[in-house]
């Protein structure tokens, strides 16, 4: 079957329309704008919550004002806009590039802080927020990376205005990491995998000090040894627990019947 070819006039009109469309889509509206004007427009978009519109403006500004403090500011603010747009991978890449390009920047403390915040929030995640999960119930890779950023900030910039908040978040993360080990130990214990429960409880006890999760870690260790038929190790764990936590409620809860196990307290 043959189809009729369009006339020459039709082809000319189609090509002209296509070229006009390409011209309009590639038009750079910032071409005649000063760097300060681009920055002002980008900030307006950020303040309006239009982060997707702010990001390309900051990118334009990075190129237009290259080598100036304004370009550095644009790079940092682009990372923040990417973070608020939930493009955490892009935001972290932008910050890593900033820190590599500007190791002596006076804004390096903010870059480290923002990197820590992004990983801290990434560890929460949308589904975690919906389910009201604690950080200890999810994979801890982001938490560890967040901790390292905050640790570097506190070490290199102890007087930064961001350091106090970073230290508080570090404490929370350490507690979370310890609780994660206990969460896994509890999981193994409830499924009868007592050797695995012992290993994870011991990890928490050996890797962390002075954190609330260690009380339960000792209790899981004691109960796991009991279940494994190791009365001496169970007794040793109980003595340590009674000495460290003389008023612990875990010991009394542990006397519940098998139909009402202690882990169902949660």
Q: How confident is the model at residue 59 (pLDDT cuts 50, 70, 90)?
A: very high
Contact (Cβ atoms closer than 8 angstroms) between residue 233 and residue 201: no
Long-range contacts of 54-60 (CB under 8 A, 24+ apart): 54/78, 54/81, 55/81, 55/82, 55/85, 57/30, 60/28, 60/30
Quote the pLDDT of residue 21. Answer: 53
- Report the 10 Å Cβ neighbour count for 65: 19
Classify residue 265 by its DSSP letter: G
Stronger pLDDT, 45 or 257, i.e. the higher one: 45
| 247 touches 231 (CB < 8 A) | no
Q: How far is CA 149 from the centre of its chain?
A: 11
pLDDT at 233: 96
Average per-residue pLDDT for the chain: 84
Tokens of 251: 């010991």
Alpha carbon 31 to its chain centroid, in Å, reads 37
Report d(CA 181, CA 205) in Å as an integer: 9
Asked if 42 contacts 54 with a C-beta cutoff of 8 angstroms, the reply is yes
List the structure tokens of 35.
Answer: 């760097």
173 near 208, Cβ under 8 Å? no
Q: What is the pLDDT of residue 130?
A: 34
Convert the pLDDT of each residue in 175-222 to its tens digit: 988 988 999 999 999 999 999 999 999 999 999 988 999 999 999 999
In this predicted structure, the answer to whether residue 256 has a pLDDT above a threshold of 50 is no
Let me know: does 262 contact 220? Beta carbons within 8 Å: no
Give me the pLDDT at residue 2, please: 47
pLDDT tens sequence across 2-17 = 445 455 555 445 545 5
Reported pTM: 0.73
Pick from 243, 186, 259, 245: nearest CA to 220: 186
Measure the CA dihedral 87/89/91/97, to 10°.
-150
Measure the CA–CA gap between 238 and 248, rounded to whole angstroms: 11
Please tell me the least confidently modeled range out of 32-41, 128-137, 226-235: 128-137
Question: Any idea which of 164-178, 183-197, 216-230, 252-266 has the lowest mean pLDDT?
Answer: 252-266
How far apart are alpha carbons 116 and 69 in whole angstroms? 23
Give me the pLDDT at residue 265, please.
36
Question: What mean pLDDT comes out for the span 232-253?
Answer: 91
């Amino acid at each position: 079957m043959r189809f009729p070819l369009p006339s020459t006039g039709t082809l000319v009109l189609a090509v002209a329309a296509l070229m006009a469309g390409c011209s309009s889509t590639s038009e750079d509206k910032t071409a005649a704008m000063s760097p300060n004007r681009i920055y002002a427009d980008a900030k307006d978009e950020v303040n309006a919550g239009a982060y997707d519109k702010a990001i390309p403006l900051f990118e334009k500004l990075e190129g237009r004002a290259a080598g100036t403090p304004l370009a550095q500011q644009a790079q940092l603010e682009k990372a923040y806009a990417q973070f608020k747009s939930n493009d955490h991978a892009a935001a972290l890449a932008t910050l890593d590039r900033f820190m590599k390009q500007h190791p002596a920047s006076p804004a390096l403390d903010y870059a480290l802080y923002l990197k820590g915040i992004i990983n801290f929030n990434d560890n929460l995640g949308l589904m975690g927020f919906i389910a009201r999960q604690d950080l200890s119930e999810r994979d801890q890779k982001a938490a560890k990376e967040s901790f390292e950023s905050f640790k570097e900030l506190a070490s290199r910039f102890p007087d930064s205005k961001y350091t106090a908040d970073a230290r508080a978040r570090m404490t929370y993360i350490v507690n979370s990491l310890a609780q994660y080990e206990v969460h896994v130990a509890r999981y193994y214990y409830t499924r009868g995998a007592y050797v695995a429960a012992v290993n994870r409880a011991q990890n928490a006890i050996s890797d962390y000090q002075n954190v609330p999760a260690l009380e339960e870690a000792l209790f899981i260790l004691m109960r796991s040894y009991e279940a494994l038929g190791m009365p001496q190790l169970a007794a040793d764990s109980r003595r340590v627990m009674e000495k460290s936590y003389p008023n612990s409620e875990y010991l009394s809860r542990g006397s519940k019947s098998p139909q009402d196990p202690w882990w169902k307290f949660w």
